[in-house]
Structure 1
Amino acid sequence: MFAALVFLLAIVLAGTRWNRSAVLTMAVASALVWNFIFVPPRFTLHIESPQDVVMFVMFFIVALSMGHLTTRLREREAALERHHQEREQLLAEKHRAELLAEAETLHRTLLDSVSHELKTPISIIRTAIDGLGTENPFAREIETANRRLQRIVENFLEITRVESEAVKPRPEWCEATDVLDQATRTLKRELGAHPLKVSGFADLPLLMLDSRLLAQAVSNVLHNATLYAPMGTPIELSATLADEQLEVRVRDHGPGLPEDVDDRVFEKFYRTPGSPAGGTGLGLAISRGLMRALKGDITVRNHPEGGAEFTLHLPVKIRQSPEP
Structure 2
Amino acid sequence: MQIVRVFNHLVMMMCMLMSVATFAQAQTDGTSEPATTKIKNDLKSYGDIDLYVFKDRAAFLAIMDDTLGLENIASPEKAFAKLPRSPFTITGRKSGKQIPSCQIFVPANIAPQSGNEIFAQLMRGWFGQSLTYQSSAEQTFEWLIHHEARHCMPEHFGDGDAKSHADEVDADIFAFNALSKTIKNPNGLAADIIAFRMITAALFADASHMTGLSVKYGLTAIDPQETLTADQEIVAFRSVRKLVFARARALATGVNPTNRELTRAVTELREEIDQGGLTPPSPLVSEILMDLDDAIAHLAPKLHQSVATR
TM range (shorter): under 0.3
- Structure possessing the higher radius of gyration over alpha carbons: 1
**Higher RCO, 1 vs 2 (CA within 8 Å, ≥6 residues apart):** 2
TM-score for both structures, normalised by structure 2: 0.21
